[in-house]
Amino acid sequence: FVNEGPLFRIYHVVDSDQEHSSQTGSVAIKVLNDRFADDKDTSRLENEYNILNHLANRDAAGSAIKKTSHHGSNATTLEWIDGITLKEWIRKFHSTRSLPVAIKSDTDEMKSIIMVMRNIAWSMVDVHDAGISHNNIT
């Protein structure tokens, strides 16, 4: 078990036997909390699956491997990517309400920030070009 929100639970599963066809040896299984979820919640999970498949070619998101079920609830199996969430990353760099002053433009940390922001920007271009609407990206 990794995380639980109002709509979903996320599990980290080691996939060493390739049961889920992962490329990294691990998957995330995102499960609707309610076994009898309404159409809106089910549609949200399906849309996320479709968006992640669309964005996978930009290296900005892990790929969605398959739609499935977990103990009778709708679920999606996703490629597991080690690291922190975008929300955690933003909080880390904005914990003082500004970027750390010590970051110089030629450092690896600044290059990492620019790469993440570039991937987010291109992903948003792809999402909008595909006609996908969204409410947030964190």
The 10s digit of each residue's pLDDT in 25-60 is: 889 899 998 767 788 888 888 888 887 777 766 555
Is pLDDT at 103 greater than 60 in this prediction?
no
Does residue 124 come out as left (phi exceeding 0), alpha (psi in the -120 to 50 range) or beta?
alpha
